[in-house]
Structure 1
């Protein structure tokens, strides 16, 4: 593994402080002189680190005023956004937006998979649903989450679109963490099993539109369960 440069180390440390809430959105960050003293590096190194974060739209430079932190919604780095979401405060808006993203990508992937999925993939999907049932009966949240994630991963790859699976890979950690939270609720597990079984039936029938609708219903149920059992929204 390549060693991080001083510039990368300073940039990562500043991002850590932003994610931790030390510098909230629209707040000003310390100047080059202060940061160079804190890290015991040259001002040039600090300048390059801040340029790196500015290029990712994490920071913005306002001439004559200083360097400020942008809101998460303006950031241009998926890695940084996921880091902020997974390490920062767990709020309702982020949880809902994650489901919205899944709906946009996974319904399309499921539709594609219906006409491309292999018999072997269908067998693997059936096995994951059965393992979800067994984990539900045994109250094994870890096993339930593993099978849930594996089920969706099979569909993403069965879509035959290489970009879909690549786009989802960085989301794996945050999806795993959030599934572990929601899957502690037995009612959510039961709903998920029913939805996964319906998706499997649509894929087995190899009916693209039915598969899209089944996945969309799953996302709707997931959102309703999140609001009802986790966020306790009215």
Structure 2
């Protein structure tokens, strides 16, 4: 497929030319089509290939540089930075990884959850106010309602809301912000872990037990409950085609 035909197929997905170019270059980098420490093609050539002005290309390069993916220098041009320099909490970077590196993103999301959520649950049991607890139970009710109907979209949305509410209930503002930052990764993980038959129904009692432990101020029980949820999700992901080699 030529570059022009490829662009014609996807142009309607983007509100601006800038977004289109950022998305195309970001996907190329995550896919490894341009290796770390390699230079992008010269500006005039790359702009022509993408069918945009040099000004649009420069703004896209600036956006990717802000995500830690590119670095521009006089004489040496624009180079791709290694992955350890990228902002892996950036929504676009997570979205590209979801498409290009789905298994790795699933693994890293579970590891992040293991590191954060048990501590957040313990803190929530000690710190949660009435509003936090209400938000958790409202999300739980939405999960139970969605589980009774075909389709997983509403269930996954409610599940994300539940875990966001848990992180907010911890009283640690960094935890709360982290939950909102990685919602793309959480959505991907929850959607995969909910695919196997019976997974949704099996997860509901554990989520209710977690909410009850937080409401009851039982810190150790809350931590254990969320860890059980994470471990169950890991098992469902391993059984899912998306989590296998």
Deviations 1:72-117 (A, max 9, x none): 343136324223224x325311111011112222222211110122
Q: Does 1:25 align with 2:35?
A: yes
Q: Does 1:41 align with 2:51?
A: no
Once residues 138 and 23 of structure 2 are traced to their aligned partners in structure 1, the CA distance between those partners, rounded to angstroms, is: 44
Once residues 153 and 67 of structure 2 are traced to their aligned partners in structure 1, the CA distance between those partners, rounded to angstroms, is: 35
TM-score by length of 2: 0.72
Which residues of 2 match residues 137-152 of structure 1 at below 5 A?
Answer: 137-152=148-163
Once residues 155 and 224 of structure 2 are traced to their aligned partners in structure 1, the CA distance between those partners, rounded to angstroms, is: 24
Mapped contact 2:106–2:243 kept (Cα < 8 A): no
Which of 69, 89, 95 is the equivalent residue of 1:83? Answer: 95
TM-score by length of 1: 0.75
Q: Does 1:195 align with 2:206?
A: yes
CA 128–77 in structure 1, closer or farther in 2 if over 3 Å, else same? closer
Once residues 47 and 142 of structure 1 are traced to their aligned partners in structure 2, the CA distance between those partners, rounded to angstroms, is: 37
Which residues of 2 match residues 79-158 of structure 1 at below 5 A?
Answer: 79=90, 80-86=92-98, 88-158=99-169
Mapped contact 2:121–2:222 kept (Cα < 8 A): yes
CA 141–41 in structure 1, closer or farther in 2 if over 3 Å, else same? closer
CA-based RMSD of the aligned residues comes to: 3.6
CA 76–190 in structure 1, closer or farther in 2 if over 3 Å, else same? same
Alpha-carbon distance, 1:122 to partner: 3.2
Which of 173, 177, 181 is the equivalent residue of 1:166? Answer: 177
Aligned residues: 227
Q: Does 1:214 align with 2:219?
A: no
Mapped contact 1:182–1:230 kept (Cα < 8 A): no
